[in-house]
Chain A
Amino acid sequence: MLRLEKRPNPSQFWNYATPVVAVLLTMVAGGILFWVLGKNPFEAIKLIFWDPLFSEQFAAYSRPQLLIKAGPLILIAVGLAIGFRAGIWNIGAEGQYIIGALCAAQMALWFYPAELWIVFPLMILAGAFGGWLWAMIPAVLKTRFNTNEILVSLLLVYVAEKILAAAATGFMRNPEGSGFPGSRNIFNYSAASNQELIANSGLHWGVVAAFIAVIFAYVLLHRHLLGFHVQLAGQAPRAAKFAGVAPARLVLLCLGISGLMAGLAGMFEVAGPARLITIDFNSGYGFTAIIVAFLGRLHPIGIVLAGLLLALTYIGGELAQFMLNLPSAAIQVFQGMLLFFLLALDVLSNYRLRLMRPAPVTAPAPKPSTESV
């Protein structure tokens, strides 16, 4: 019989080992899934995790994609992780990403076609502001009316998607686009374009921003009193109050930071890899970033590694889609399983498994009760 026993100290070993074990278990379970779908599981796993980086046939295209996909994932996940550490659950990064992109695109379209250096910096500000603003809705509702930020931020994703559709088909539609939905091509507008900084590397300003965010988050969480208060509020809310942390300020701060970073990610995406606003501009980065944040143990360095891994599953998943005809949902299931295994295994850092022999009945039988009450 297996039993869980609480550890006196959280296990450092399992804290680092669970993400690795979770990835391995996901490969096994994913392999079974692919096998049930009638595919060769080994081929599918190799196609997802190995071929994008090392196959001669695909690597030339896939390798730069790694940074392109990992950039927004890392940028969003770092912001989310700060909130998650405080126990503030922003599930709506996808919506903040969309609104950030829309604000940045609108800024670019206002200036079009003027070639001014100020356009790109202004777009960055607009993207950050849009994401921040969208995150302030659940934040203010929570601090004023004690609503649940999980629900509000999640539902606002769908509102943002409607606004995106309206923008792509209506107020932002390219006047020279012969009526097709979608905005002007911002990538081709050189004052607004988020170009690759080194050719064929995938490195664009968004990736740079992601790495700056990682350093910022690391310093905040590990060296700054504010970061300490964030973690205190997440682990022991009463102790945080006793220490003088104002919960409402923390909610505004954490949702603000995560919204801002998601908005930034959206800005770099629309001006770079996505090139323009389309109806299906968002590709789930905001949701996948939640997995990235947890897989990276809510630690900035861990998030870099997790972001690269999840980017790999995106690229590999696409590859598996057209090489093996796997349904596109299969890769989402795959990512979901990763989060599932991770959370399940997390128990191990606070508990240890004890193998117990089934208890033989050696205690004396209950004696008949004495009637002498």
Chain B
Amino acid sequence: MMTTPLLSLQGLTKEYPGVVANSDVTFDIGEGEVHALLGENGAGKSTLVKMIYGLVRPNAGTMRWRGEAYEPHAPAQARASGVAMVFQHFSLFDAMDVAENVALGMDNPPPIRELAAKITEVSNNYGLPLDPDRMVGDLSAGERQRVEIIRCLLQDPQLLIMDEPTSVLTPQEVDILFRTLRQLRAEGKSILYISHKLEEIRALCENATVLRLGKVVGKADPRQESARSLAEMMVGQVLHQPSREAAAPGKTLLEVTNLSLPPQSAFGTSLKEINITVRAGEILGIGGVAGNGQDELLGALSGEMRSAREAVRMAGEPVGHIGPTARRALGLLCAPEERLGHAAAPDMSLSENALLTGAYRERLVKRGFVNWGKTRKFAERVIETFDVRTPGAHVAARALSGGNLQKFVIGREIMQRPSVLVVNQPTWGVDASAAAAIRQALLDLAAAGAAVVVISQDLDEILEVADSFAALNAGRLSAPRPVQGLTMDQIGLLLGGAEGDSDAAA
């Protein structure tokens, strides 16, 4: 017996000038099904869900909702039909409380007190405890995501779209989220789940559609596949596993001693007595939930924030008091988390963005005058070496997909042969093959004798590349532990701020 699927996509095609984002995409999502959407960056996942959510209109093809024509012109219309979406990047206001934020996202919000009661009720029903009166600025990333999810659940959706929901969560928070999603499925709701974490998809989804270059290239039952086979289906080739050669650690390159900094903004975090030692050939992984001082730590290392002279040392030399340009000259390079606006200027070309950090180390500037020819060549070398998919170095940074820009930003620093590299969230929102390439580049850099600090919320990533692990919690950094032999539970405790027994006794 054939049942009518909840949402049926038939030959959906979306073209942008010069790019086909989606071409003839066809698949069904059944009632009560958790359906995975897999694909590399630029494979067309975002465009596809935007069409379902009414943000973008297809050029060709049809959608059917329970057998009836479905052509949403706006998200409000999609929501009215029963589609809700949790975005990868939250759209919340820090200075408002939870209930106010939820009300802002609703089409017809009830009075705030009724809403607060409803939030409490729904959040308890789904095992996502959330206090409607708390300020969003004080919430962890996991709790912020709950706000978004509850905003969706209050609309009683039939189809919930989730875009990379676990990338900001601790392992414990992921478990809670999965329990909620399973409960939703048990209630007969459908979920379209976008993620590049293949193990999650295998644990949660019963159907997967794989996109590559805008086309459906495979459908699978993730439970029957291995993570590797899924990844290869997605990339279309045999996947390269990051590998490392053990190198004997060399001399200490980066040394941070009792670094303390006040918060830089109302919702910033202060750094409290941070101690770090990284030696040549070593990779230190710093885990922690977003908002625990990651940005501040990177700023203190890059030189955007000055500290006491002796608090930061590069190969023995005090650098705490000098700025980014002078630190770069010494070989201390950084790649911030925020690609657009911090690591790169959105409206400037890739050439100009290459000049942004490469001006002196790559000798792109002579007596203050920019050698644009040389700058373009440097940008092109980054583009080629790191497989950045773009028509050329003249393209504005904002025109690149997140993963491609990330490859460019990381590549730009690595190509400058740093002796210390600090990266924050190096593979955030980057697809599996690009993430593997970035991690491999970090490993190669360490193998070549650089000291590397990887700040990341992706614990799998830290476990994959790092030699030692330290957790950042409320601006404090735990003592580093060797990664070998560390269990997920231990990590979870470290992230929560619990130190080992010896520390507690001290």
A residues whose Cβ falls under 8 Å from a Cβ of B: 8-10, 223-226, 228, 231-232, 235-236, 238-244, 246, 359, 361-367, 369-370, 372-373
Contact = CB atoms under 8 A, between A and B. Distances in A.
B368 A10 contact: no
Contacts of B338: 238
A369 B356 CA distance: 53
B323 A370 contact: no
B304 A370 contact: no
Given A225-B370, A363-B71, A239 B356 contact: yes
Given A228-B355, A373-B156, A10 B396 contact: yes
B94 to A, nearest CB: 17
Contacts of B325: 243-244
A239 B396 contact: no
Given A235-B348, A363-B80, A243 B357 contact: yes
Given A235-B345, A244-B303, A364-B68, A9 B324 contact: no
Given A8-B396, A359-B73, A364-B68, A223 B80 contact: no
Contacts of B121: 373
A359 B80 CA distance: 15
Given A225-B368, A244-B325, A246-B323, A239 B82 contact: no
Contacts of B68: 364
B273 to A, nearest CB: 25
A131 B365 CA distance: 31
Contacts of A240: 345
Contact of A235 (B346, B368, B372): B346
A241 B156 CA distance: 45
Interface string B300-328: 00111000000000000000000111101
Of the listed residues A10, A246, A373, the one surrounded by the most CB atoms of chain B closer than 10 A to its CB is A373
Contacts of B16: 8
Of the listed residues B156, B372, B398, the one surrounded by the most CB atoms of chain A closer than 10 A to its CB is B156
Given A228-B355, A232-B348, A239 B342 contact: yes
A224 B77 CA distance: 51
A8 B405 CA distance: 14
Nearest to A361: B77
Given A226-B368, A228-B355, A242 B304 contact: yes
B156 A370 contact: yes
26 contacts: A9-B396, A10-B347, A10-B396, A225-B355, A225-B370, A235-B345, A235-B346, A236-B344, A236-B346, A236-B347, A236-B348, A238-B338, A238-B341, A243-B356, A243-B359, A244-B303, A246-B323, A359-B73, A359-B77, A362-B70, A363-B70, A363-B78, A366-B82, A367-B82, A369-B156, A373-B125
B356 A235 contact: no
B66 interface: yes
B72 interface: yes
B238 interface: no
B187 interface: yes
A137 B325 CA distance: 29
Contact of A364 (B81, B324, B369): B81
A363 B344 contact: no
Interface string B164-204: 00000000000000000000000100000000000000000
Interface string B225-238: 00000000000000
Of the listed residues A9, A10, A225, A370, the one surrounded by the most CB atoms of chain B closer than 10 A to its CB is A225
B399 A8 contact: yes
A304 B71 CA distance: 51
B74 interface: yes
Contacts of A10: 347, 396
Contacts of A246: 323
Contacts of A367: 82, 158
B343 interface: yes
A361 B78 CA distance: 11
Contact of B344 (A239, A365, A369): A239
Closest 6 CB pairs of A and B: A244-B325, A359-B73, A244-B324, A236-B345, A8-B399, A366-B80
B352 interface: yes
A229 B346 CA distance: 14
B304 A228 contact: no
A232 B369 contact: no
B346 A242 contact: no
A240 B356 CA distance: 8
A225 B342 contact: no
A362 B125 CA distance: 34
B246 interface: no
A225 B398 CA distance: 22
B471 to A, nearest CB: 25
Contact of B74 (A223, A359, A366): A359
Contacts of B81: 363-364, 366
Contact of B328 (A223, A231, A244, A363): A244
A228 B370 contact: yes
Interface string B54-75: 0000000000011011111110
B396 to A, nearest CB: 5
B274 interface: no
Nearest to B372: A223
A298 B302 CA distance: 32
B425 to A, nearest CB: 15
